[in-house]
Structures are given as C-alpha cells and as structure tokens.
Structure 1
Amino acid sequence: MSATDVPSPDAEAAPAFPVTSSATGPASPTTAPTYTVGIDMGSVTTRVAILNPAKPMPTIVRNALGNEATSTVVSFAANEARSFGENAAARDVTKASETIVDLAPWIFGYTSGEQAPKDTAVSLQVVSPATAMSEAVLLKSRQLGTQEHLTHPAQVTAFYIKSLLQFLPDQEMMRTAPICLAVPSAASAASFEALRQATLLAGVPQEHTVIAHSDEATAVYFHHLQYRNLPAVHDGTAVPVVVIDIGQSCSVASLIIASQPRVEKVDCQTLRMGSEYIDALLCSHVYGELDKKFGAAAAPLRGDIKSFRKILRECRKAKEVLSTTDEARVQLEGLHGDIDIIVSLTRAMMEQAALPFLQAVRAMLTAIKEKLPAPNAVEDGTGEVAEVPRVEVIGGGWRSACIMEVIKEVFGITRVGVSLDASLSVAEGSAILAEVRRLSVARQQQQQQDEEQTAQSTAASPVAEVHHVELTGFEVLDASSPICQPLSEAAVAAVAEWMVLEKQMESSDARIHERLAALNELDSYVLQTLTAIDNCVASSEKKAEMRSYIEKIDIYVRNEGDEASTADLSEKLAAVQAHVTEHFPELAVYYESVREAEKKKEEELTKLSKERQEDESELKSDPQRLRMAQKRREQGQGLFKEECWAEAQTRFVQALSILGQLYDISSEENRTKKHEISLSCYLNIASCSVKLGLWKNAVNNCTHALELVPDHPKALFRRGQAYSALKEYKEAVADLEKAKAVSQHDPVVTAELTRAKAALEAEKVKEKKMFAKMFS
C-alpha cells in the first residue's frame, strides 16, 4: 500500500513509511496552478479558504447554510447520525456527554475533550513554539456517551475535516490540493501527528497535508494584504510588525520584518491560555454565588455538564458586555433542580481577578518588544532611527479593556492596528502559506537546474507575483522541525485500525440519513397536500374528506414516524399517493394548473431575457435607448404585478443602466424623459426591495428618488418603512412625518408613523434604564 493513500481496513501488512511532501516535491510553477486550501480550526468556529494561485488573495468557502464560519462542534449521539457544526451545536445541552464543543482544544492538547471549568491555577508561563513542540504531550482518548470504545481526538477531527471539505467547490480538491491546517503556536508534536492522522483518515493524501503555526499564516496574510504599501527592497526600510492574537484557548505574539520580496520571522512567544481564563473566573464567581444562595442544593451543579454549559454561555455574553460597560448581569433560569439566579458582574471585579493572566500577557509582549530592531541598528548602516513597530491585533480577547491597556502600555502606543480581518486572517493566511511553501520548495529544486531555465520557468509561471515572497525563519519551511515530520509507521497503522470503525460509522450514518429522508419525504407530502386542498377547486364536502384523510397520515408521522423503518415509510408514502390519486382527482387538476402557470412564467422570463439581449445589442441612438429603457420599465411593472419581485427589480435596474448610456444629456427632451423613467425605476426598485426584505437597498433607492424629487411622498414613505425595519426609528419617524405632511394624512402613512413612534419611545426607555444601571 502506498503511504500516501488512506489505509485499507483489511490490510495485512504494516503500512509503508509515508513520503513527505519535500520528498515528492510539489508541482512546478510552470504547470497549471493547483488550488490550495487553508483551514483555521478555532475553539469556537472554523473557517475554510481556497486560493487560486493566479490571484493574490483567497476566498472563504461557505457552508451549507451560506455562512463563512462553522461551529467547531461535533456530536456522536447514540442512535443518531453523527453531526457537526450548527446541527451538533443544537445538541450541546440535550446530548451533552456525546457532543464535543471544544474539539480544537482537545486536538491541540489543552483539554481531555470534556468541557469543564479550567482550574485558574493553570500554567501561565510564556513559552516559545520551539519549546512547546519539544514537550512530551499525550493526547487523551475519551468515551463518548454510550459508546463502548474509547475515541481518539484524531478520529473525531477526521469526521469534522471530511465534513468541512464537502463544501469545496470541487471534491477533487480533497485529493489534489495542498491543505494547510493552522495550529496554535503552543501546540506540541503530538497535535501535529494527530492532525496528520485526521487528514489521512478523512481521505487527504499525506503529501498534501501541511501543518503550520497560526502566527506564520497571519504573517503571510499581512504581507499579501499590505503588499503594495511595503518597501520594494528588504533593507532598513522594511517594516517591523508585531501581531498579537488573544484567542479563546491560546495567546500569541510574533514579530516579523516585512517587505515586498521577503517576510522575516524574528520571534514568537505564546501562552497556553487565552480569554477563556476570564471565562473560567466568571464561571467560578457564579458558582460561588450559587453556593451562597442555595447551599447544599447547589452542590450537584458542579458536576452537571448541561448546567455548566448554560453558565459558561451566559458568562461569555457578560464578558462581551463588560468590554463596553462597567456592569453586566448573568441571568440563569432552569438550572439543575429548577434553580434560578441573577448574578451581577463588574468590570473592576473581572480585571482584578484576571491580574495573573494580564501579567502573563505583559511578560509575553515584553519578550517580543526586546527583540525589536534597536535604534541605529538598521541594515543599511545609515544610522537612522529604527521605525516604531506597527502593532496589529486579532482574536476576540484583545477587545477587553484591560488587555488593550496592557498592549498600549508595553509598546508605548496610543492605538492598535486592526487592518487584519480577525475572522479571516488565519484561514486565508493558511491557504496563502500552502502556496508560498509550494513555490519555495520548487525554487529549492530549481536551484539545481540551469539559471537561465529557472528564470524562464519563473517568468512563465501563472502564479500571482505576490506569492513569490521569500520566507525566512518560518517553521513550516524547516524540514527538520517537528511540525514538518511525517507520520510514523505506528501512527499510520493506527489510522488503518480506525478506518475499520470509520467505515462502520459511515454505514450507520447512511442508514439513518436514508430513514430520515424517507420520513421527511412523507412529512413534506402531507404538508404539501394540505396546502393544495385549500387551493384546489372542489366542494366543501370533498375538501373535508380529503383533509380528514391527510390529517390521519399526519398523526401517523408525528406518533409513529420516528420508530418506523425506511421500508415502512416508503411503503406508507406510496400507499398515500395511490389513495390520493384514486380518490381525489381534483388535486391532480390543481397540480397541473400550477405546473402550467410555472411553465408559462418561465417561458415569459426566457423570452424577456432573449429580447433584452437582442434589443440592447442594437441600441445606437438616444431615442432607441430611451424607448428601450421605457420598455424595460414596463416589463418590470408587468412582472411586479405577477409578484415576480426579483425579476421585476432586474428590469428596473436594466432600464437605469440603459439611461446611463445616453449621449446627449444637454437635450431638454432627453433630460425630461430620463428624469421621468429614472424616478419611476428608483421607486419601483424600492418597492421590490421592500417585498424581498432588502431594506438597505430600499433606503438607497428611495434616497436616489428624493434627489430627483425632494419630498416625494412615496419615496419618503418607503424609506421610512425601510428605516423601521432596520430599527433606525429616529430616521423612520423623520421621513414618515414628512410623508404624512405631503400625502394629506394618508391613513397608511399615519399607521406606519404611529408604529415607528412607539418603537422609538420603547428604545428610549430601554436606553434610559441601561444608563441608569451604569451610573447607579
């Protein structure tokens, strides 16, 4: 068996020692560029980015819900298919012992995989990544729920990674694209091995797996983002940059010297603790208040994982509030034993308790400050004073006022830089780093070739210029570093054993999903039929008969559906469909009419699209353009009447686009006609936007209409309506007051104004109460 393949569960011999990427070598830059993938598996959420090397920056891959981030949560609940992300997060209370909500700290060796209040006496020693990598750390396996066997964090991570990679635009990327996983700078070699095992188990060839410290991913992200602003040569003008990341479970500060051609990593210091230290303090305080109020009755709460997760969730909310106000409340209801409590927290209390963590952060930052280039020590020997470092922050923890003050004090600055996207920098930086690493290894190989051939291949490269940066001091390029070491034979053999269990779980997941699909199909048919009964043409008696039959099926779905087998559900659906077809032909007639209407609508839209292409290709004069703009407006009005809001909006936008192509705007006739059509289109786009819930778009188009006709009643009304939906009640009331005045007290306008005023007053009362609490 090839060491780069996923181990076969029935392999008899021990797998061969895997080949590293440096041994096999990446594709030459002269070949068609291969996409790279970056994964930032954070303590709370995970992001995936892909990079087309021909472009300078990556893009974030969205999940099935259309979100850029996916919760780093996995559930292995009994009698259910495994789930991840938001689906798993919904089970973090109901299926607490089987749901891992701290997967990242588990795989990185900070926890045993079970969420519990962390002892505040944890080590707050500042360490370098080299020290962390050399430490002997053993990742702990744990039992999930009712499972009889122990589960290694690599097994859970493999399922999570494989699930995330399903969102890639091309599934072939799993086998062909270099995949870079970012790890905290405080991670040990055991974490690197576990991640390589996880990716191999997920189906990613070993030679395509890259492990990199998150600070190195952030460094190349900064370089690419600021590329045009960096010096063209790496000399005394190169920019010293301090990047600080106060994460949930880890804190890191790194110093780089950046120019367009090179990024030099000078130093990195880290803590195995992040803002969760403050979370633990707040939780500890809440538990203390529970003990004071309820005594022995509160004792069971300390061992109850469901109650802890509720407390932790509310404490994190309070921590965010305390970053902007001096006091917050933790309100808990329905804890174990029906215990309810409200606990007050103050910023002063939090900062006092967090002093050990703040001192550790100060020590970490001071260690970095000492490595800054000294004055008069620049490379060019000109004697110029070294530039004050640029300090950039990412991670959510820096927003706490006490941490921000430490950062400013250590570096003697008045403000910090926030040009790096805290959410995207590590994921996108990982995708970039995978490509820069590929090019760096390729350059090393090309050094053995003729210099002229090397120059030609570089010139012919389809890779964006920015990716050809030279990296110095980066662990990801050091073949001897623990972070670059391939899996041992024993580790690959373990993956082969896990694969047997993984195949069994995949088969079980498939059966469960198949049964759920059959149940959903039957449930959907019931709901669809009930709706059709209300809309079809039939006598009242016939409709009552149809509804009675379908409601009985609905009762079956609710009461027996969860226990029925896939075959039972499929047979039930077939029987119901046959009964409906035989006894209720009125529904078939209704469905046919719906299909005809949809077909007609689709044909009309196709016709309009074709006409647009033909018509607009022949626009050669202003009269033609004005006629075509009018035609697009009329088409939009027709589509609006048919409730095709999005299609109608498109026609109005097209009309405005055509008007923008008028040659002679000095003509009074042209100006008048353009004004008339433009006003109508802006108002109609606003109406479409209101129907579609695109409130900001509605505001913008009403504003354009008001620029043409100030105090236009419909524009004022629609904008006021949109402002109300955006909860900008002050602006809404102002617009609606004007609309009421110019529309002669239209009752519709008056009603909307009344609602907006009531909402504004309620908002003022709420703000008044909040400020009263702040200063009481």
Structure 2
Amino acid sequence: MEGRGRGRGRGREQVKAIGIDLGTSYCCVAVWQSHHNMAEIIVNEQGNRTTPSMVAFTQSQRLIGDAAKNQIATNPVNTVFDAKRLIGRRFSDSCVHDDIKFWPFTVIQGKDDKPVIQVTHKEETKLFAPEEISSMLLMKMKTISERYLKYEVKNAVITVPAYFNDAQKRATKDAGKIAGLNVMRIINEPTAAAISYGFHDAFTGEKNVVVFDLGGGTFDVSVLSVQKGKIVVKAVNGDMHLGGQDFDNRMLNYCVQKFNTKYKVDMSKSAKALRRLRSECERAKRNLSSEEETVIDIDCLYKEHDFSVKVSRAKFEELNADLFEKCIEIVRECIHDAHMSNDQIDDIVLVGGSSRITKLQELLRQNFGQEEVCNKVNPDEAVAYGAAVQAAALNNEDVTLALTDVTPLSLGTETDGDAITVVVPRNTPIPTQRENYFTTACDNQTSVSVGVYEGERALIAQNNLLGEFDLSGIPPARCGVPSVKVCFKISEDGILTASAEDEGSGASKEITITNAGGRLSKEEVSKMIANAEKFREDDEKVKKKNMARKSLEHFIYNMKSRVTEAKKKHNIKTSAAEDVLSTLNSAEEWLDDNEEAEACEFENELKELQFHRMPHFTRNL
C-alpha cells in the first residue's frame, strides 16, 4: 500500500483505527465516522452486526464465526468456543477444569502449565494456544473491517473485562499481534460501554452511571462519571468467571439429570448430544427473557431417545438464584468502593447479552428503586462502539476523549510481622503518585529491602510479588531514626515505577515494573478481591495481632538499647541496668514462646511491662 495516511480509492482520507469487542460468545467491530460524528458497527459477510466467537476445523478447512457455528452440531469436537475463558490462564486452574467438563473439544496441559486446545484438522492432530484461537477471531474482525473500508487496517483498540489480570491482558495483546494488528491500547469493556453511553445523541451534562456488563463468560461492574468526551472511572469490581455460559450450564445440568433419570443412561458421555442440548438450553434462556415458559424439544438426542421438557421462567430463575444474587452483591460492593450511595446514581447501563435476563433487571430496579434501567445503548454493540471512539482518539482522528481509569488492586510494601502496608489503594485513579515513609528495624542498619506487592490480603504471603530491590548507603543509626521515603508512580498505561530514598543521606534506588510476566494465576485479581471479602474478619484479626506483637517487640528492643547506652555512659547504676535488662530478657523469652498468642495477650504483656515491671527512671531514658 502506498502511503500509510491514505486508503486505496479513498483519496487522501486518513487510514482509520478500529475498535474490537473480543467477546466470549460474540465479537463485534466498529469504526468512527467523522462525517456522521458517530461510530458505525461494521456488519460481517452475512449481514450480521455480531460474529460468533467460534473457530472450527474440518478435514478440508478452518471456519470462523457464523460458518463455524452452523456446523457445530455435526463437528462438536473440532469446534472451539469460549477461548476467552482460557486465555492467560494455567491448565491447573480450578476454573479451567470446571469448564472442560462442559466442552466437547479437548483441552490438554501444555508447556509451563498452559492450556492447549487439541483438534483434528485435515486428518492431523493440531494443538492451538488460546491466544491463537483469539487471534483467528481478531483476524476475522480485521478482515470484516477491511472489506468495508477497502484498505488495510493495522491499528486497533481491543476490549477486555475490567478484572482481566495482566497475564490475560498481555495474552490478548499477543493475540492482536498474531492477527497482524497494532494494538494501540487495551481498555476495559465497561469503560468502553460508558464511552458509548456518553456519545449517544440524547446525552447532556454530567452523570454518575453504573455499567452492568454481563456477557457470555465474564461479569464486570464499573461506577463512572460520564460527560461527552470525558470518562472518569470511580471504581471497578466483577467476576472473571461468571456469565451467560454459567446460566446455560445450570439449565444443561438440569436437563441432563432429567434425561438420565427418565432413560436410566448417562448422556453426558456423548459430546454431540451435549452440544445439541446446550444449544437448545441457550435458545430457551433467550426465549425466557420475553416469555413465561418455553419447551426444550430434541428428537433422538441420545441412543435414539427423544427429549422434551417444559421450562418456566420461574424454574430458570430458581436454578440461577445464587448467581443472580451474586451479581447484585458485586454491584453493591462497587458502589461502596466508589464512596457513593444508590441515590447518587443517575443511570444503570446494561451491557452484554445476559443483561437482558428479566430477573436481573428486576433485581437492579429493586436495588436502585428505579422504574426502568437504561436502554440508550445496544447491549451487544456498546463495547465495540466505545472501543472505536477510543481508537479514533488515539489515532488523532476528529474526536476528543479524556479517559481516567483506576488501578484494580492495592499496591504496597512489606512491613514487620509479614504484613503489607498499602501505598496505593485499589480503585485509585491513574496516573498517580503516592508516597509512604518507613524506617530501619534494628540499630546500625545500612540497607533496606523494598518488596512491591499487589493484593488485598493482610499477609505478604497471600499477595503477589511484583518486584523487589535493595536501598543501601543508609548511615548507621539507632533503629527507628532513619527516614526512608518509598514512592510509587503509575502511568496512564499502568506502568509502575517504585523508588526508595533515605532522606538523611540522599541515597536512592528505583525500578520500573511493567505489566509483563504471568504475575497472577488462577482466579487472581477477582479471587483476591473475593478472598479479601470472605476472609476480612480473619485478616483484621491478623493485622491487629501483628500490630500488637510489633509494638511489644519494638518496646523491648528500644528499651534494651537505651538502657545499654545509659549504662555505658554511667547515667544509671550497673545493678539497676542489669535488673531492667533481665526483665526485658524475660519479656523477650515470653514473646519467643508465645508467637501465636492473641492480640489482647500481646497488648496486656506490653501494658504490664510498661507500667508495672519497668522502674520509673526508665521513662526518662
């Protein structure tokens, strides 16, 4: 192509960037059209505005999108879907094994514990990483846009769930590279939906909105302040492993049990039968958003047995009641994290196909006391629309957008007692710079080790280590005297720079921690938050216990140091000093023998030591 700033047959018009919603169940692509002052959803070759996130392998070809979905009933073991649920994960993750039992295709353990998808293609066994499957879908989106724009497209913004961890975001970006795309930025799906909301024609002023994004495989909630051309994220929350597929699975299990009970067989052994039944369960779920009941009816489902069952909306809601309530609880937590109340929310924006479920809309209306929830954006297209706006802004097209995001997890350093001291709390707007001050733990300490951690738990071992470095050159002094400033800087791209400086000597050290490397595994970001909520009470006990033990330790150590120094200077009698040191040694022995004592025991021991066992003169040391 001649000249990167012009397209074939389009004169000197700027080559556009596209926005891609890489969904678990469906993909969507959009492009900003300056002459219409809006983003346009690009239809695929079938005239559909969304494309199934499926890739199929046959004896002769590879099929992507609608073509793959159309043949899944006859080729289930070689038709891959839900790749988004595997990307950036480890094979050993429990959620991967939970999903595998519902998939007709094969997933095996690859190198470094990566999940690998195994299919038969052209009569050969082929292995594909989830990134490769995702890259095929992205390539399809690229082809769809190029067919419409009539020139090569290179630049794109790709969306991911707000609670995707760094490994998953990096893997998504790698998939874009494999597809031949320059991924200008990865942005969060609910943020993209908020951009779409802020750019619709009827929008005026400034509003606080909750984006309720429930797709096929992931659930995100964001609280945002929205103006036309300006989006500020206040808080994010969600579950990386909750979506429409899970509702389908509940109905699938229900139907399998019905079938097995009736015919005294186990139909779950048949991948083809499960695939046919899953498709009908998904259809029934969609029908129940507009109907009170529907029928799942399949001829010759398994071993020539027909299957028919009537499913009411009430039954579907009963099967998924706990999942629906979990969604609402996550909404409540996100609003709390944003330091807002329900009456401060102007709109609830529904995104993702599963947000159409009647019961969820009813629960949202009840929670917010509103008669209706927002229907100003298309749930299936809003994310791609917002991604296209962001892509145009980054591509210097005729659109203005200011976007302020937040860091989803707390960042901190290690302190005494294996506890974490938070420097940057989660949901802090980025870019940001935060500082905290620390000191030495023992006399004449000339260096300190600074570990940078991510997570919400009280103990260091339960959080994720991002990096560490040593600061040396601290002048010798009594413990607690040096003042070490630790500074965290986070850029708009999420790049973290950590530094430490001894304010007395000026000695300093700095490292840059990028969003690289498989920092997190298993449930990771979402599980850290979930675990923090679940174990909040235990964590508070641990924190209180560590603080009490730390106070006792410091008192004993500091008092021993002061008494020893006073003894050398002949400020106190040797016999008196020896008595005090003996008392302190006994307290130190008690501390060593009672490491697992409760906080109140450490507190009582400190009070007893301070006010009853220490001579009065020690208070003047």
Q: For this structure pair, what is the TM-score category when the shorter chain's length is used for normalisation?
A: 0.5 to 0.7
1:290 paired residue number: 259
CA distance in 2 between partners of 1:202 and 1:112 (Å) = 28
* Match for residue 213 of structure 2 among 245, 249, 259: 245
* Match for residue 71 of structure 1 among 52, 65, 70: 52
1:342–1:257 distance in 2 versus 1, CA, 3 Å? same
CA distance in 2 between partners of 1:474 and 1:56 (Å) = 28
Q: For each residue in 1:510-558, what CA deviation from the matched residue of structure 2 results, as whole angstroms up to 9, or x when unmatched?
A: xxxxxxxxxxxxxxxxxxxxxxxxxxxxxxxxxxxxxxxxxxxxxxxxx
**Where in structure 2 are the equivalents of 1:519-530 lying within 5 Å?**
none
1:156–1:372 distance in 2 versus 1, CA, 3 Å? closer
CA distance in 1 between partners of 2:514 and 2:74 (Å) = 40
**Letter in structure 2 aligned against 1:433:** Q
Cα shift at 1:374: 5.0
Residues 100 and 113 in structure 1, CA contact (< 8 A), matched pair in contact too: no
* Match for residue 116 of structure 2 among 141, 149, 161: 141
* Match for residue 117 of structure 1 among 72, 84, 102: 102
Does residue 215 of the first structure (1) align with residue 190 of the second (2)? yes
Cα shift at 1:34: 4.1
2:161 paired residue number: 184
Does residue 426 of the first structure (1) align with residue 383 of the second (2)? yes
* Match for residue 325 of structure 1 among 248, 269, 291: 291
Does residue 94 of the first structure (1) align with residue 74 of the second (2)? yes
Cα shift at 1:478: 2.4
Residues 25 and 53 in structure 2, CA contact (< 8 A), matched pair in contact too: yes
**Where in structure 2 are the equivalents of 1:48-59 lying within 5 Å?**
48-52=29-33, 56-59=37-40
SS at match of 2:86: helix
* Match for residue 103 of structure 1 among 79, 83, 93: 83
Cα shift at 1:323: 2.6
* Match for residue 175 of structure 2 among 198, 202, 205: 198
Does residue 409 of the first structure (1) align with residue 375 of the second (2)? no
Cα shift at 1:139: 4.7
**Where in structure 2 are the equivalents of 1:550-569 lying within 5 Å?**
none
**Where in structure 2 are the equivalents of 1:230-629 lying within 5 Å?**
230-231=204-205, 238-260=206-228, 262-271=230-239, 272-295=241-264, 298-299=265-266, 301-371=267-337, 387-438=344-395, 463-464=397-398, 467-473=399-405, 478-480=492-494
**Letter in structure 2 aligned against 1:89:** K
CA distance in 2 between partners of 1:219 and 1:52 (Å) = 19
Q: Calculate the TM-score normalised by the size of structure 2.
A: 0.58
1:9 paired residue number: none
1:485–1:393 distance in 2 versus 1, CA, 3 Å? same
Cα shift at 1:49: 0.9
SS at match of 2:125: coil
1:106–1:33 distance in 2 versus 1, CA, 3 Å? same
Does residue 165 of the first structure (1) align with residue 142 of the second (2)? yes
CA distance in 2 between partners of 1:394 and 1:230 (Å) = 20
1:235 paired residue number: none
Residues 216 and 474 in structure 1, CA contact (< 8 A), matched pair in contact too: no
CA distance in 1 between partners of 2:340 and 2:285 (Å) = 38
Cα shift at 1:294: 0.8
Residues 34 and 53 in structure 1, CA contact (< 8 A), matched pair in contact too: no
Q: Which has the higher strand share?
A: 2
Q: For each residue in 1:476-519, what CA deviation from the matched residue of structure 2 results, as whole angstroms up to 9, or x when unmatched?
A: 9722359x968779xxxxxxxxxxxxxxxxxxxxxxxxxxxxxx
Number of residue pairs matched by the alignment? 391
CA distance in 1 between partners of 2:227 and 2:73 (Å) = 49
Residues 261 and 468 in structure 1, CA contact (< 8 A), matched pair in contact too: yes
**Letter in structure 1 aligned against 2:73:** V
SS at match of 1:343: strand
CA distance in 1 between partners of 2:150 and 2:13 (Å) = 18
Cα shift at 1:422: 1.3
Q: For each residue in 1:103-144, what CA deviation from the matched residue of structure 2 results, as whole angstroms up to 9, or x when unmatched?
A: 3333365657976438xxxxxxxxxxxxxxxxxx96511211
**Letter in structure 1 aligned against 2:221:** A
CA distance in 2 between partners of 1:414 and 1:230 (Å) = 21
Residues 19 and 387 in structure 2, CA contact (< 8 A), matched pair in contact too: yes
CA distance in 2 between partners of 1:174 and 1:341 (Å) = 48
Does residue 174 of the first structure (1) align with residue 153 of the second (2)? yes
2:127 paired residue number: 150
**Letter in structure 2 aligned against 1:92:** I
CA distance in 2 between partners of 1:401 and 1:108 (Å) = 32
1:460 paired residue number: none
Q: For each residue in 1:227-250, what CA deviation from the matched residue of structure 2 results, as whole angstroms up to 9, or x when unmatched?
A: x6332xxxxxx3111111221211
**Letter in structure 2 aligned against 1:215:** P
CA distance in 2 between partners of 1:139 and 1:427 (Å) = 29
Q: For each residue in 1:317-345, what CA deviation from the matched residue of structure 2 results, as whole angstroms up to 9, or x when unmatched?
A: 22223233333221121223112121122
CA distance in 2 between partners of 1:435 and 1:247 (Å) = 25
Residues 39 and 182 in structure 1, CA contact (< 8 A), matched pair in contact too: yes
Gaps of 5+ in 1: 1-30, 119-136, 232-237, 376-384, 440-462, 490-776
Q: Which has the higher helix share?
A: 1
Cα shift at 1:32: 7.0
2:595 paired residue number: none
CA distance in 1 between partners of 2:358 and 2:47 (Å) = 33
1:544 paired residue number: none
SS at match of 1:418: coil
SS at match of 1:270: strand
**Where in structure 2 are the equivalents of 1:653-664 lying within 5 Å?**
none
Does residue 229 of the first structure (1) align with residue 203 of the second (2)? yes
Cα shift at 1:74: 0.6
Residues 39 and 46 in structure 1, CA contact (< 8 A), matched pair in contact too: yes
**Letter in structure 2 aligned against 1:434:** A
CA distance in 1 between partners of 2:216 and 2:338 (Å) = 27
Cα shift at 1:474: 5.3
1:403–1:139 distance in 2 versus 1, CA, 3 Å? farther
1:261–1:407 distance in 2 versus 1, CA, 3 Å? same
1:274–1:386 distance in 2 versus 1, CA, 3 Å? closer
1:396–1:438 distance in 2 versus 1, CA, 3 Å? same
Cα shift at 1:100: 0.7
1:142–1:112 distance in 2 versus 1, CA, 3 Å? farther
Identity fraction in percent: 18
**Letter in structure 2 aligned against 1:468:** T
CA distance in 1 between partners of 2:88 and 2:400 (Å) = 31
Q: For each residue in 1:409-436, what CA deviation from the matched residue of structure 2 results, as whole angstroms up to 9, or x when unmatched?
A: 2212121111011121111111111233
SS at match of 2:38: coil
1:386–1:99 distance in 2 versus 1, CA, 3 Å? closer
RMSD: 3.1
1:57–1:481 distance in 2 versus 1, CA, 3 Å? farther
Cα shift at 1:395: 1.9
Cα shift at 1:279: 1.2
Q: For each residue in 1:724-765, what CA deviation from the matched residue of structure 2 results, as whole angstroms up to 9, or x when unmatched?
A: xxxxxxxxxxxxxxxxxxxxxxxxxxxxxxxxxxxxxxxxxx
1:386–1:160 distance in 2 versus 1, CA, 3 Å? closer
Residues 108 and 184 in structure 1, CA contact (< 8 A), matched pair in contact too: no
CA distance in 2 between partners of 1:285 and 1:351 (Å) = 13
**Letter in structure 2 aligned against 1:365:** V
Cα shift at 1:315: 1.2
1:586 paired residue number: none
CA distance in 2 between partners of 1:239 and 1:188 (Å) = 29
Cα shift at 1:161: 2.0
